[in-house]
Amino acid sequence: MGNSSLVLVSNRLPVDRVVRPDGQSEWRRSPGGLVSALEPVMARSGGAWIGWPGATEIEVEPFDVVPPNGGKTYRLVPVALSEQEFVDYYEGFSNNSLWPLYHDVITAPQYHRAWWDAHVLINRRFAEAAAREAAPGGIVWVHDYQLQLVPRMLRELRPDVAIGFFLHIPFPSFGIYAQLPWRTQIVDGLLGADVIGFQRVADARNFQRAVRRLLGYRTRTGRVFIPESEDKAARTVVVSDYPISIDAKEFRSLSATPSVQARAVEIRHELGDPRRVLLGVDRLDYTKGIVHRIKAFGELLSDGSLNPAEVSLVQVAVPSRERVESYRALRDEIELLVARINGDFGTLGHNPITYLHKGYPHDEMAALYRASDVMLVTALRDGMNLVAKEYVATRADNRGVLVLSEFAGASDELKTALLINPHDIEGLKENILRAIHMPALEQGRRMRPMRRRIAENDVSHWSASFLADLRGARAGDQVPLS
């Protein structure tokens, strides 16, 4: 047993190994929503964070890190993967089986028994690492779809610890989920937790239906009742929605700095000072609806609804899973579409679409948000989408318009955005035009309640509410129903 009262378990550690020009390596904070959401938890509590270090065939000893913004030092515990394990467990089962299945089969999942065997093996390796690190009676919080077997495995190793699980992506309806050959094993794995958290109420309900259909357990809103068995007492598992959020105060403060405000002005000037700037920021993924968005924008230029000299669409596509064929094909499709539209409507001094295949630090993102009049979030399926919340958090002047897919979890909270069905290209075009021409008074009326929502339900509220329910569930207290 270890001495960490709080252990976080995620597929990746919150750092990347970087080789400096002098040949020496160092660890730097990783970008991404999960790191931004969980690092403040570790900074407040200390403890251990278990995850893969980001490279195969290397052995890295555990090491301590100091949070960049202050707080308690915490321990990083790497879990090693061979190259073949990475291919089978991560690229194979996680991203070619589970990811497309959980995103409503936008692309067809593949199922291979060798991938599943690797998935079980690696989940057990993570569970064993957590069992070694957790203090007696401690808390272990497991994250995301790659590690859904860990809660059951960990309960068998360490029945004394409180186990929480949070799924950052959607959980599909049973009609879709049922095609997974290992559907019962996944559900049983998750039920090893004391609290299982989802992004949306609908996801929690989908999971409970899967429990009823596959295991026959009784459920009600917010609860799964596991009956007594020969060697185990009856248990109640809390199943609820905990919509993840951002550090709204950080983005609000960052957007107010003179350097970010000056950079926002500079960005608009670099774009040719268009009358309206539209922005899309996404991981390069087929779930994000990037092609739909660009197609709609191109048709608005083609039919004369928009003047290409007066509008500019900036599309940031952060590289993702570049070894997976479907992602390479998506990149080619997007880049060809952008090239065609710019070729048709660009001039020597201005292209209507600026396409950026790279990631950016927080300060540059804040400047892009400030520089943009319209934010386009057109996900075909998304657990939450924190980009939508980041954009709203930076709009201290209550100006700007968020066009938001109803299939993103953020739409449950940001109800005064312009909600759209991204599959409806004509409807998407109409709402882009509505956003571009929206009067300032209506922009403010829509933006204010979204900013209040994000300020009240920030990432600290998210983690505190989940951990409070986990402690309560383990202590046998009455956790509120959803």
Q: Are residues 29 and 56 in the same domain?
A: yes
Contact 462, 242 (CB under 8 A): yes
Query: By residue range, what is the domain housing residue 74?
Result: 4-244+461-475
pLDDT for 332 equals 95
pLDDT for 479 equals 60
pLDDT for 232 equals 84
Kindly state the tokens that stand for 435: 């956003």
Q: Are residues 447 and 377 in the same domain?
A: yes
363-417 tens-digit pLDDT: 999 999 999 999 999 999 999 999 999 999 999 999 999 999 999 999 999 999 9
Instruction: Provide the CATH number for the domain around residue 312.
Output: 3.40.50.2000
Name the one residue in this structure whose structure tokens are 């952060």. Answer: 318
What lies within 8 Å, CB to CB, of 214 at 6+ separation is 183, 184, 187
Q: Is residue 127 part of a domain?
A: yes
Has 168 been annotated as catalytic? yes
Q: Is residue 148 part of a domain?
A: yes
Q: HEC string of the chain?
A: CCCEEEEEEEEECCEEEEECCCCCEEEEECCCHHHHHHHHHHHHHCCEEEEECCCCCCCCCCEEECCCCCCCCEEEEECCCCHHHHHHHHHHHHHHHHHHHHCCCCCCCCCCHHHHHHHHHHHHHHHHHHHHHEEEEEEEEEECHHHCCHHHHHHHHCCCCEEEEECCCCCCCHHHHCCCCCHHHHHHHHCCCCEEEECCHHHHHHHHHHHHHHHCCEEECCEEEECCCCCCCCEEEEEEECCCCCCHHHHHHHHHCHHHHHHHHHHHHHCCCCCEEEEEEEECCCCCCHHHHHHHHHHHHHCCCCCCCCEEEEEEEECCCCCCHHHHHHHHHHHHHHHHHHHHHCECCECCEEEECCCCCHHHHHHHHHHCCEEEECCCCECCCHHHHHHHHHCCCCCCEEEEECCEHHHHCCCCCEEECCCCHHHHHHHHHHHHCCCHHHHHHHHHHHHHHHHHCCHHHHHHHHHHHHHHHHHCCCCCCC
Q: Are residues 435 and 328 in the same domain?
A: yes
Q: Are residues 301 and 233 in the same domain?
A: no
Q: Are residues 173 and 306 in the same domain?
A: no
Q: Which of 188, 247, 285, 382 is catalytic?
A: 382
Task: Return the amino acid letter for 251.
Answer: F
End-to-end CA distance of the chain: 34
Average pLDDT over residues 2-30: 82
Integer angstrom CA distances of residue 252 from 241, 369, 390, 396, 398? 26, 11, 9, 7, 12
Q: Are residues 371 and 411 in the same domain?
A: yes
Q: Are residues 235 and 344 in the same domain?
A: no
Q: Is residue 481 part of a domain?
A: no
Q: Is residue 37 part of a domain?
A: yes
Q: Are residues 297 and 186 in the same domain?
A: no
57-89 tens-digit pLDDT: 888 899 998 887 778 899 999 999 999 999 999
416-450 tens-digit pLDDT: 999 999 999 999 999 999 999 999 999 999 999 99
Percentage of residues in the chain having pLDDT higher than 90:
81
> Could you tell me how many residues make up the chain?
482
Q: Which of 143, 168, 292, 469 is catalytic?
A: 168
Using CA atoms of 336, 434, 416, 394 in order, give the dihedral in degrees to the nearest 10: 60
Q: Is residue 90 part of a domain?
A: yes
Task: Return the amino acid letter for 404.
Answer: L
CA–CA gap between residue 423 and residue 428 (Å, rounded): 8
Q: Is residue 482 part of a domain?
A: no
Give the residue among 360, 366, 407, 362 at the shortest CA–CA distance from 383. Answer: 407
The confidence band for 478, taking pLDDT boundaries of 50, 70 and 90, is low
Q: Are residues 293 and 352 in the same domain?
A: yes
Task: Return the amino acid letter for 95.
Answer: N
Burial (0-12, 13-18, 19+ Cβ within 10 Å), 134:
buried
Integer angstrom CA distances of residue 32 from 38, 112, 198, 282, 342? 10, 29, 19, 11, 30
Average pLDDT over residues 254-258: 95
Average pLDDT over residues 235-252: 94
What lies within 8 Å, CB to CB, of 9 at 6+ separation is 49, 50, 51, 126, 129, 130, 140, 141, 142, 143, 147, 150
CA–CA gap between residue 296 and residue 386 (Å, rounded): 23
Q: Is residue 137 part of a domain?
A: yes
Q: Are residues 37 and 151 in the same domain?
A: yes
Task: Return the amino acid letter for 19.
Answer: V
Total count of domains within the chain: 2
Q: Are residues 104 and 204 in the same domain?
A: yes
What value does the mean pLDDT of the chain take? 93
pLDDT for 60 equals 87
Q: Are residues 72 and 211 in the same domain?
A: yes
The residues with which 240 forms a beta bridge, in sequence order, are: 197
Is the model more confident about 169 or about 30?
A: 169
